[in-house]
Chains A and B, each alone.
Chain A
C-alpha cells in the first residue's frame, strides 16, 4: 500500500431507530442499532465485521453505503465525507461502492435475465450499452466463473452458489473500490461456500479493491479478512489484525465467541459455554459496558462506565476495563 490514507473511514457512526407505540405512534423507545462505531478500511484490505444477530453489523454495512441514513457520524470514502451528500451528489460515489447480500434469491429480480441484471448498472451509469454492454457482461461472467451462454437464463435457473456469483458480477460491473459483503456465504452449503470465498479472494488479488466483510461465522471471517472487528450491541468491542485477534483475544466477549465455535476435532471436545444468557435488547442496552450482564470478569466499574476503544498493542484496540493498564484478567 503506497497511499497510507484509508479508503473508508467511519467515525462515531450512530444509527438509532425510533420505537413507536400507542394510537398516536409516539416515540416510546429507541433501538440503539449502531452506537458510536469507528473503523477504517485500507486500499486492497479486507476488514471482517463479526458479531451475533442484532449487534448492528448489517446496519453498519447499510449506513456505509447510505442505504440507511446514519443518525450521526462521518463516513469518508477516499477522503470525501459522503454523509451530507444529496442523492445526485451521491451518484458518482455509488459507482465506487457496491454490496453483495446474504440471500442471492431475494437480491436478484426474478423477471430479469442474469445478463440484464449484471448489465443494468452499466446502463444506469451510462458506461456501456448495446454490444459493448453485452461484451462487458460476458467478461464479468467469465471472471466469476459463469458461462457467457448463461446470460440469457433467469435467476431461478441457477443454484444458490451461482446466484451469488451473479450478485458478485453485478457488484464488479462498475469497477468499485469497496465491496460490502453482508453474510455473502451464510446461505450456501459448505462445499459451495468454499468456492465463493475463493472467488472473492481471487477477485481481490486481481482487482485490488477492499472488502467490508460482514459475517457471523468466525471461521469464514478468519479466513478472508486481514483485520477483524468484533461488534456487540451496536459497538465495536475489539479490533485487531486477524492473526493477533485470534491468537490473543483481549475482550471477554471475543474470547467467548472463539470458545463457542464447535471445533471439527473430536479429540478437542470442549462443549462448555463461555457465556450464559442471551444478548440483551438494544432498545434498553445495559449501562456501562454492554457486555457486563454476561461477562465472567465483571467488575463494579463495568456496570456504570462505558469503556472506550483503546490501544492494547500494535494495531490492537479493545474496549474493556480489564485492559485498562493491567491488560489481563486476574
Chain B
C-alpha cells in the first residue's frame, strides 16, 4: 500500500488469529487474517456459514465470547489505537463511539422494553457530553437521517411497533449516532425482504458517503457485494483466500472457490436461459474446522486440486496488481472457465 493511502487507513488488522476451545478440540475460527479499511471505504467480507466472517468482526469489536473463544494473535489498530491491548473499560468507550456494529436481526439487538428514542439517547449520553434534551433532539435527528417517517412520533415507540425494515433503520441510526470512524454491518439485510433490502442498502451506502464512515460489510450474497463494496475479501474455513477490488474480483476471480461461488449462484439474469437449467455446483461441503485437511482447506472440493494442494497450504500471494489469492494454481487459472 502506498504511503499516501496509508494516512486514510482507519482500521488495520494484521495476522488476526481467533480460536475456540471446545469439547471436540481447538478450532481456528479466524486464521491469520489481515486487512485494512480506509475512510469512506466499503470492505466486503464474503463467505458461507462457518467461514469465520462474523468471528472476524467480533474479534475487531472485542466481542468474542471468552470462554470458549479467544483472540490469540495479531493486532487490530483503529485510528492508531491497538484495540487488543485495551482493557474492558477503555474498549467500552470505543464501542458505539468510534466503532459500531449492526446485526442481521434488529429485533434481537434492540431492547424491547425501551423506546427507540431512549435507546439512541443512551448511546449519545454515554459517549458525549449532552443533556437529556439535547440527546433526545439528536436522536430524533438521527431517525430523520435514516429516513424514518414522522421521527418525532417514532422516537416514542417501542421496537415491536416498528416493521423489520424500520427496526434496521433505527439500528443504523443508533450505530451512527456518535459518528463512528468504522461501521461493521453483519448481514444487515439478510432478514429483510428484497424491496426493503434495496432501501436499506441504498441508505447505508448513502450515509456512509455523507459521513465518511469506513464500512465492513459481512455478507454471503455476492449481489450485495457487487452493489456496495469497493474491496472484497473472500473467506473459506477461517482463512482469507482472496482479496481484490470489487471490479477485479467479479471480472477475474482467481481462487477456484470464488469462481465456484459465482457459478453456483442462480442469477435472475439467467431468465433468458433454458428452463430448469442445472446450476454449477461446488461438490461436497465446508470441512469441519476441528478436522481441517493438511493442505488447502478447499482442495477436497476443488476440481483443479493437485497433490501439492493436498499437502501444503498455499500462501496468500499477489497474483495481479492489488489482487491476492491463496491458491497454488491461481496464476495458471487465467482463461480457465
Residues of chain A touching chain B, judged by Cβ–Cβ distance below 8 Å, are: 46, 52-53, 159, 161, 189-195, 197-198, 201-202, 204-205, 216-220, 222-226, 242-243, 245-247, 256-276, 278-279
Decide yes or no: A204 and B224 within 8 Å by CB, A52-B195, A218-B268, A262-B198 being known contacts.
Answer: no
User: Which residue of the partner chain, among B194, B197, B270, B278, contacts A198 with CB atoms under 8 Å?
Assistant: B278
- The answer to whether A262 touches B227, judged by C-beta atoms less than 8 angstroms apart, is yes
- The answer to whether B275 touches A226, judged by C-beta atoms less than 8 angstroms apart, is yes
- 29 residue pairs bridging A and B, Cβ less than 8 Å apart: A191-B261, A191-B281, A193-B264, A195-B282, A198-B278, A204-B276, A219-B265, A222-B267, A223-B266, A223-B270, A223-B276, A223-B277, A243-B272, A246-B268, A257-B194, A262-B197, A262-B224, A262-B226, A262-B227, A262-B228, A264-B222, A264-B225, A264-B265, A266-B250, A267-B247, A268-B226, A271-B205, A273-B195, A273-B199
- The answer to whether A52 touches B202, judged by C-beta atoms less than 8 angstroms apart, is no
Tell me which residues from 229 to 286 in chain B have a Cβ below 8 Å from any Cβ of chain A: 246-247, 250, 260-262, 264-272, 275-283, 285-286
- The answer to whether B194 touches A264, judged by C-beta atoms less than 8 angstroms apart, is no
* B196 contacts partner chain A, Cβ-Cβ < 8 Å: yes
Question: In the complex, A260→B223 CA distance in Å?
Answer: 11
Known: A53-B193, A192-B48, A222-B268. 10 other contacts (CB 8 A): A190-B261, A195-B283, A201-B276, A222-B271, A246-B268, A260-B194, A262-B197, A264-B223, A266-B250, A269-B227
* In the complex, chain B residues whose CB is within 8 Å of the CB of A259: 198
Tell me, rounded to whole Å, the shortest Cβ–Cβ distance linking A61 to chain B: 18
- The answer to whether B279 touches A197, judged by C-beta atoms less than 8 angstroms apart, is yes
Question: In the complex, A186→B276 CA distance in Å?
Answer: 18
Q: Which residue of A lies closest to B206 (CB)?
A: A271
Question: In the complex, A204→B221 CA distance in Å?
Answer: 28
Is chain A's interface secondary structure helix, strand, loop, or mixed overall?
helix
Question: In the complex, A157→B269 CA distance in Å?
Answer: 37
Tell me, rounded to whole Å, the shortest Cβ–Cβ distance linking A320 to chain B: 17
Chain B, 91-113, contact with A by CB distance < 8 Å: what is the 0/1 string?
00000000000000000000000
Q: Which residue of A lies closest to B221 (CB)?
A: A262
Tell me, rounded to whole Å, the shortest Cβ–Cβ distance linking B307 to chain A: 24
- The answer to whether A195 touches B281, judged by C-beta atoms less than 8 angstroms apart, is yes
User: Which residue of the partner chain, among A222, A263, A268, A278, contacts B165 with CB atoms under 8 Å?
Assistant: A278
* B128 contacts partner chain A, Cβ-Cβ < 8 Å: no
* In the complex, chain A residues whose CB is within 8 Å of the CB of B275: 226, 242-243
Tell me which residues from 172 to 218 in chain B have a Cβ below 8 Å from any Cβ of chain A: 193-199, 201-202, 205
The 7 closest A-B pairs by CB, nearest first: A262-B223, A246-B271, A194-B264, A52-B193, A189-B48, A260-B198, A191-B282
- The answer to whether A263 touches B271, judged by C-beta atoms less than 8 angstroms apart, is no
User: Which residue of the partner chain, among A52, A192, A219, A224, contacts B276 with CB atoms under 8 Å?
Assistant: A224
* In the complex, chain B residues whose CB is within 8 Å of the CB of A272: 198, 202
- The answer to whether B276 touches A222, judged by C-beta atoms less than 8 angstroms apart, is no
* B220 contacts partner chain A, Cβ-Cβ < 8 Å: yes
Is chain B's interface secondary structure helix, strand, loop, or mixed overall?
helix
* B11 contacts partner chain A, Cβ-Cβ < 8 Å: no
Q: Which residue of B lies closest to A247 (CB)?
A: B271
Question: In the complex, A263→B221 CA distance in Å?
Answer: 10
- The answer to whether B194 touches A263, judged by C-beta atoms less than 8 angstroms apart, is no
User: Which residue of the partner chain, among A198, A226, A274, contacts B198 with CB atoms under 8 Å?
Assistant: A274
**B interface, size bucket:** 35 or more
Q: Which residue of A lies closest to B264 (CB)?
A: A194
* B163 contacts partner chain A, Cβ-Cβ < 8 Å: yes
* B166 contacts partner chain A, Cβ-Cβ < 8 Å: yes
Question: In the complex, A211→B317 CA distance in Å?
Answer: 46
* B49 contacts partner chain A, Cβ-Cβ < 8 Å: yes
* In the complex, chain A residues whose CB is within 8 Å of the CB of B246: 266
Tell me, rounded to whole Å, the shortest Cβ–Cβ distance linking B101 to chain A: 21
* In the complex, chain A residues whose CB is within 8 Å of the CB of B282: 191, 194-195
Tell me, rounded to whole Å, the shortest Cβ–Cβ distance linking A237 to chain B: 13
Tell me, rounded to whole Å, the shortest Cβ–Cβ distance linking A31 to chain B: 16
Question: In the complex, A123→B328 CA distance in Å?
Answer: 52
- The answer to whether A242 touches B271, judged by C-beta atoms less than 8 angstroms apart, is yes
- The answer to whether A256 touches B195, judged by C-beta atoms less than 8 angstroms apart, is yes
Question: In the complex, A274→B268 CA distance in Å?
Answer: 17
Tell me, rounded to whole Å, the shortest Cβ–Cβ distance linking A11 to chain B: 26
- The answer to whether A197 touches B266, judged by C-beta atoms less than 8 angstroms apart, is yes
* In the complex, chain B residues whose CB is within 8 Å of the CB of A194: 264-266, 279-282
* In the complex, chain A residues whose CB is within 8 Å of the CB of B202: 271-273
Decide yes or no: A260 and B271 within 8 Å by CB, A198-B281, A265-B226 being known contacts.
Answer: no
Question: In the complex, A272→B203 CA distance in Å?
Answer: 10
Question: In the complex, A120→B31 CA distance in Å?
Answer: 44
Question: In the complex, A39→B175 CA distance in Å?
Answer: 45
- The answer to whether B285 touches A159, judged by C-beta atoms less than 8 angstroms apart, is yes
Tell me, rounded to whole Å, the shortest Cβ–Cβ distance linking A33 to chain B: 17
Question: In the complex, A233→B269 CA distance in Å?
Answer: 26
Decide yes or no: A263 and B223 within 8 Å by CB, A161-B285, A189-B48, A257-B194 being known contacts.
Answer: yes
- The answer to whether A226 touches B285, judged by C-beta atoms less than 8 angstroms apart, is no
Decide yes or no: A264 and B193 within 8 Å by CB, A191-B260, A198-B278, A242-B275 being known contacts.
Answer: no
- The answer to whether B278 touches A191, judged by C-beta atoms less than 8 angstroms apart, is no
* In the complex, chain A residues whose CB is within 8 Å of the CB of B199: 273, 276
Decide yes or no: A189 and B220 within 8 Å by CB, A198-B278, A263-B227 being known contacts.
Answer: yes
Q: Which of B220, B246, B265, B271 has the most CB of A within 10 A?
A: B271
Question: In the complex, A274→B193 CA distance in Å?
Answer: 13
User: Which residue of the partner chain, among A161, A190, A224, A275, contacts B264 with CB atoms under 8 Å?
Assistant: A190
- The answer to whether B270 touches A222, judged by C-beta atoms less than 8 angstroms apart, is yes
Q: Which residue of A lies closest to B277 (CB)?
A: A223
Q: Which residue of A lies closest to B163 (CB)?
A: A278
Question: In the complex, A216→B197 CA distance in Å?
Answer: 12
Tell me, rounded to whole Å, the shortest Cβ–Cβ distance linking B256 to chain A: 12
* In the complex, chain A residues whose CB is within 8 Å of the CB of B276: 46, 201, 204-205, 223-226
* In the complex, chain B residues whose CB is within 8 Å of the CB of A262: 197-198, 201, 221, 223-224, 226-228
Question: In the complex, A161→B301 CA distance in Å?
Answer: 15
Tell me, rounded to whole Å, the shortest Cβ–Cβ distance linking B80 to chain A: 31
* In the complex, chain A residues whose CB is within 8 Å of the CB of B165: 278
Q: Which of B163, B199, B201, B283 has the most CB of A within 10 A?
A: B199
